[in-house]
Amino acid sequence: MNYLNISEKRSENRFLSKNYSASILLLFFLFFSLFTSCSDEPEDHLSSVAQLESFSFGPTVNKDLEKVALGKISGSNITATIPYGVSLDGLIASFFYSGESVKVGDKEQKSGETKNNFATPVIYSVFAEDGTKNDYTVTVAIGEAPDPKLESFSFTPEFNEELEEVVTGKISGSDVTVSIPYSVSANTLVATFSYVGNSVKVGDKEQTSNVTPNDFSEPVLYSVASENGKTIDYTVTVTKNQKRIPRVYINTAGGAPIVDKVNYVSSTVRVEDLDEYYTDGVEFTGAAEVRGRGNSTWGMDKKPYRVKLAKKTSLLGMGSDKNWALLANHTDKTLLRNITAFEISKIAEMSWTPSSYSVDFYLNDEYKGVYALTEHVKVSKERLNMELVTSSDNSGEALTGGYFLELDFHYDEPYKFKTGLKALPIMFKDPDEPTTAQFDYVKNYFNTAEQVLYSTNFKDPVNGYRKHIDVESFINYYIVQELAKNVDGNMRGSCYLAIRRNGKIEQPLVWDFDIAFGNADHITWEQGASSREWDGWYIKTCSPWFDRFFEDPYFVSELKKRWNELKPQLDGIPDFIREHAVALQDAQARNYGIKANGGAGWSITKPEWNTSIIRGSYKAEVDYLVDFVEKRLQWLDTNINGL
């Protein structure tokens, strides 16, 4: 009623200022207004607005869309374009409107909810409050078909039974490269692939992912076609990975830990040569006992192990025996020094060279890294083949041999002695419990040999040291150890000796080269020799007995002769190292890979006790080893022949 009061106030003012006739008209108006104000309130005004403000298709409610497709409103027409490949049937529109409701035909439309088939134009009717209707014709076009494209390519175990895991192809431009395991045949492989387009063919043959087999022994051309008339060819090239090195699995009973070098733990051993690296794929599974082994190496994080099988078995084609070693090679970043030295030993024709093969080692299902499955040092027909004394051989010719002995500064065997002049620590390996007569014979023989060697008459060809020491075997031993510049080969440790029946003291084999070939800087300029540099003498100046041998022209002459016989074969050692490094590429990556990614977690850059020099990568470590051997071969060739 506030409106009426204001009007009346204004009317009174006008009444005073207007003439009589105007006043009469005003009174009439006031009377009419008063009358009408007493009646019912007027009805609300109904809007006639019926308009679509916006229209779109969004990915939130249309799962096949990747982004919003906006509609363009032009008068009563709305146009939108949907990407190629998206179905027009079942699209959900999102829209804003002014009005009472929106319908398509008789069906109420809700923004972001109602589906429609836009394969043909759809009429959206917007109704106003007063019933007014405006129609909008929505026309949805399909975007241009994209160019054909091969998006992914792989081979999976589900459709290729020889595979153990998925192998994924690398797509680079129009080339696809896939590497499959060495043992898997490429002749019949079924590819898993995704693509943009309407067909994939190889030649005239339609290709179906997970179904169609092809021969990938040669590159295969995949043609991907699109509805826009374009075709793109992809060349798929399948190569084989390098052979996987064999695997050794040890599972202890109940998962028991292997805690020392004394107590064996009951275990099951499985050896696999999946890619027939050394065998025809023979697999071994059998009972065994396992304990720790080694001297300083047992104290390292990556531990070596001694394996005793329940029965004699040939592993990876090596000689049949119960006793085996798993060498960790922890201080050797190349993982190659021992097998390199053994190759030199074979060239030098030592009496016996242990066979040693790189393997991936798993202990209780945990990957431990690259180890060397190696023949354990012992006397047998399949190892160091020599006749040994028995407990009854205590006199005459029978007492003269054979004996297998170890020279090592650890001096930790029960039957042992030190030589009188140089205090060489000699221990009995076999027999491990010699009789008193046998012990005394060996001790006296060594002392006599050493006394003669350091006597004034040592060069005498009949009664000198050659009467007691097998010069040929010591020369072969020297060549291996000096070429390797082995700090463990200087007649103080890791040295094995033998006396055969009616025989002389012999160097039958070599062992322990993980810190050889310049991999030790803890011994520098001992007796004028460096343990790290590729040049300079080491065994010649640092080893008892050898220092005396070089004073004998006969020994020097025989050394020169033997060196020049072996030199052409020794020149192949750098290539031997390179080839074996290539074979270890995948395995060394696992050895030095982090555990979270399936690696063993060992570090290629962490300094170890033997050397502070870190070269930063596996390749750099191998390059250093190759360079050391190449230069040392040259240096020794010049200096041995210059003696």
pLDDT reading at 550 higher than 60: yes
- pLDDT confidence of 2, banded at 50, 70, 90? very low
Give the number of residues written for the chain.
Answer: 643
pLDDT reading at 463 higher than 50: yes
CB atoms within 10 A of CB 211: 11
Task: Specify whether 236 is located in the same domain as 253.
Answer: no
pLDDT reading at 284 higher than 90: yes
Residue-wise pLDDT for 117-142, tens only, equals 999 999 999 999 999 999 999 999 99
Task: Specify whether 297 is located in the same domain as 316.
Answer: yes
| Domain final position from 121, 142, 163 | 142
210 in Cβ contact with 159 (< 8 Å): yes
DSSP tag of 277: S
Residue among 224, 422, 333, 376 at smallest CA distance from 613? 333
DSSP tag of 599: -
CB atoms within 10 A of CB 436: 8
Lowest mean pLDDT among 119-128, 173-182, 387-396, 513-522: 513-522
Q: What is the pLDDT of residue 525?
A: 58
| Domain final position from 548, 572, 596 | 572
Task: Specify whether 403 is located in the same domain as 537.
Answer: yes
Task: Specify whether 153 is located in the same domain as 278.
Answer: no
Q: What is the pLDDT of residue 582?
A: 92
Q: Which residue has the higher pLDDT, 416 or 528?
A: 416
**518-527 average pLDDT score:** 71
Percent of the chain residues past pLDDT 70, beyond the cut: 92
Q: What domain range is 525 assigned to?
A: 396-572
480 in Cβ contact with 349 (< 8 Å): no
pLDDT reading at 21 higher than 60: no
Residue-wise pLDDT for 333-375, tens only, equals 999 999 999 999 999 999 999 999 999 999 999 999 999 999 9
Task: Specify whether 442 is located in the same domain as 506.
Answer: yes
Q: Which residue has the higher pLDDT, 630 or 33?
A: 630
Task: Specify whether 157 is located in the same domain as 302.
Answer: no
pLDDT reading at 12 higher than 80: no
Task: Specify whether 441 is located in the same domain as 423.
Answer: yes
Q: Which residue has the higher pLDDT, 607 or 261?
A: 261
Residue type, 487: V
Distance, CA of 33 to CA of 473 (rounded, Å):
139
Name the domain count of the chain. 4
Token readout for 371 is 């180890």
- pLDDT confidence of 1, banded at 50, 70, 90? very low
Q: Which residue has the higher pLDDT, 521 or 466?
A: 466
Q: Which residues contact 81 (CB under 8 A, 6 or more apart)?
A: 69, 140, 141, 142, 143
Distance, CA of 206 to CA of 221 (rounded, Å):
12
Token readout for 469 is 């020491």
Task: Specify whether 560 is located in the same domain as 452.
Answer: yes
- pLDDT confidence of 17, banded at 50, 70, 90? very low
Q: What is the pLDDT of residue 144?
A: 87
* Distance between start and end Cα atoms, the chain: 133
Q: Which residues contact 620 (CB under 8 A, 6 or more apart)?
A: none
Buried b (16+ CB within 10 A) or exposed e, 501-538: beebbbbbbbbbbbbbbbbbbebeeeeebbbbbbebbb
DSSP 192-217: EEEEESSEEEETTEE--TTT-EE--S
Task: Specify whether 64 is located in the same domain as 127.
Answer: yes
Lowest mean pLDDT among 24-38, 329-343, 609-623: 24-38
Q: Which residue has the higher pLDDT, 527 or 81?
A: 81
- pLDDT confidence of 5, banded at 50, 70, 90? very low
Residue 4's H or E segment, with its range, is helix 2-17
- pLDDT confidence of 620, banded at 50, 70, 90? very high
**512-537 average pLDDT score:** 83
Token readout for 328 is 């960790």
Token readout for 298 is 């047992």
Residue among 203, 71, 92, 224 at smallest CA distance from 145? 224
Buried b (16+ CB within 10 A) or exposed e, 63-84: eebeeebebebeeeebbbbbee
Q: What is the pLDDT of residue 366?
A: 97
Token readout for 503 is 């025989």
Residue 472's H or E segment, with its range, is helix 471-484
**233-244 average pLDDT score:** 92
Residue 498's H or E segment, with its range, is strand 495-499
CATH number, domain of 64, equals: 2.60.40.2340
Average pLDDT, whole number, for the chain? 92
In a domain, 345, yes or no: no
- pLDDT confidence of 595, banded at 50, 70, 90? very high
Residue type, 42: P
Q: What is the pLDDT of residue 419?
A: 98
Percent of the chain residues past pLDDT 90, beyond the cut: 83
CATH number, domain of 236, equals: 2.60.40.4120
Indicate yes or no: pTM above 0.85: no
The radius of gyration of the chain's CA atoms, rounded to the nearest angstrom, is: 46
Task: Specify whether 226 is located in the same domain as 370.
Answer: no
Task: Specify whether 434 is located in the same domain as 472.
Answer: yes
Q: What is the pLDDT of residue 37?
A: 46
In a domain, 386, yes or no: no
Cα of 134 vs its chain's centroid, Å: 68
Task: Specify whether 407 is located in the same domain as 523.
Answer: yes
